[in-house]
Amino acid sequence: MRVGVPRALLYHHYGECWTSFLEAVGIEPVVTEATTSDTVVHGAVLSDNETCLPVKVFAGHLLQLKENTDAVLVPRVVSQYDGMKACPKYLGLPDMARSFDPALPPVMAPVMDLADRRGRWAREWYQLARDTGASDHCADDAVKSLLRGLREVEAQPQGFSDLTPQAPRRDGEVVVADDPRSFTVGVAGHLYNVYDSRASLGMLGRIGQMGARIRTVDEVSRRDVRRQLKTLPRKIRWDFESRMVGAVLHWSRTRSVAGVIYVSSFACGPGSMIGALIEDQMNREDSVPLMSIILDEHSGEGGLITRIEAFLDMVRRSNQGTSEDEVRRGVAKR
């Protein structure tokens, strides 16, 4: 049996756990190739105009699995961390997947609720394994391995990312910033926006080529994130959005980066609110420069490069002693 796994959305967090589970029960996982321009275009045609870019990318990846798989795995993610809720699109994602194209293979949609410490949701994964022909013992071992893998992803700072500060790598993209005079920039965004080199238009590669080192949200520990979130008057209930806010505040308040680039996608409701919160909070504090980038299927590479160049040039001049007034008048605060 061949089960497709779209290389989109939460695959960038939990993909290795999902494919390992499938292999453990004797199923061949078929992971789609890296996102291309055709992936985005085809996904945009299938999707509603009001959906965000990551969902359109997801739809494009689903189409790649139409002819060569027996089923598609699209977990229904309820929460990613204790006390938090996942973005609503994850709850309805299996239903959207079924509606995109009637000719798509059947959609497997086991629930994943990491806020449930008792792991009762894992029964659906056990039943999925049994329904595909796995023995009781094999299904039980696969579920236990899945739970261990998910705990490890949430426990370690870098999660599913294979990023290192010196040479980030994702979907074939390599970023190198070895210049000892270079500075560090924090890139805050969902992993499926930041690490998908087509959706982000190769942003990490561009930043590295311009001489800056990179830090991403998945490198900041949960402990540091929680410490910063306690200073806010209200709790943020979306898991990864709260991690983005905590990471940005950590970078800014510890001066571990010289500037922050906030990356979101057009039509992302949580992203728009979190972006406004970050900008407001950093304006209140003596923070590092901030620039926001909104991605959609119409984003152009030329405009992105120009904005990044201007921002990094301003940060570089700031590090070299440019006056604070000049920095604050720059594009980074807008």
Here the CATH number for the domain that contains residue 59 is 3.40.50
Are 211 and 240 within one domain? yes
If one counts every other C-beta atom within 10 angstroms of the C-beta of residue 35, the result is 22
Residue 203 lies in a domain: yes
Are 12 and 114 within one domain? yes
Contact 293, 261 (CB under 8 A): yes
- Round to whole Å and give the CA distance between 151 and 252: 28
Partners of residue 292 on adjacent β-strands: 262
Q: Which two tokens stand for residue 127?
A: 């039943």
DSSP-derived secondary structure for 282-330: HHHTT---EEEEEE-TT--HHHHHHHHHHHHHHHHHHHTT--HHHHHTS
Are 102 and 39 within one domain? yes
Are 22 and 118 within one domain? yes
Are 124 and 199 within one domain? no
Give pLDDT, residue 328. 42
Residue 96 lies in a domain: yes
Interstrand relation of 111-113 and 76-79 (parallel, antiparallel or unpaired): parallel
Are 97 and 200 within one domain? no
DSSP-derived secondary structure for 20-37: HHHHHTT-EEEEPPPP-H
Domains in the chain, number? 2
Are 46 and 176 within one domain? no
Residue 29 lies in a domain: yes
Contact 171, 35 (CB under 8 A): yes
What is the residue whose two structure tokens read 């930043």? 207
The pLDDT tens digits of the residues spanning 305-330 come to: 889 999 999 898 877 754 444 434 44
Query: In the listed set 132, 155, 178, which residue is the last one of a domain according to the structure?
Result: 155
Dihedral sign computed on CA atoms, order 276, 280, 281, 283 = positive
pTM of this prediction?
0.81
Query: In the listed set 155, 185, 206, which residue is the last one of a domain according to the structure?
Result: 155
Give pLDDT, residue 234. 86
What is the residue whose two structure tokens read 């001049």? 317
pLDDT tens sequence for the chain (334 residues): 899 999 999 999 899 999 999 999 999 999 999 999 899 998 888 888 788 889 999 999 999 998 889 999 999 999 887 777 888 888 889 998 988 888 889 999 999 998 887 888 999 999 999 999 999 999 999 999 999 998 888 766 543 333 333 334 444 444 444 554 578 999 999 988 899 888 888 899 989 988 899 999 989 988 999 999 999 988 888 888 899 999 999 999 999 999 999 999 888 888 888 889 999 998 888 889 999 999 887 777 778 888 999 999 989 887 775 444 443 444 343 3
- Round to whole Å and give the CA distance between 211 and 175: 10
Taking 3-state DSSP, the helix, strand and coil percentages for the chain, each rounded to the nearest 5, stand at 50, 15, 40
- Round to whole Å and give the CA distance between 19 and 31: 8
- Round to whole Å and give the CA distance between 133 and 127: 10
Are 151 and 238 within one domain? no
Contact 25, 1 (CB under 8 A): no
Dihedral sign computed on CA atoms, order 150, 155, 159, 162 = negative
Are 173 and 147 within one domain? no
Are 138 and 250 within one domain? no
Are 204 and 301 within one domain? yes
Are 144 and 201 within one domain? no
Residue 57 lies in a domain: yes
* Domain region containing 210: 169-333
Contact 227, 245 (CB under 8 A): no
Question: How many residues are present in the chain?
Answer: 334
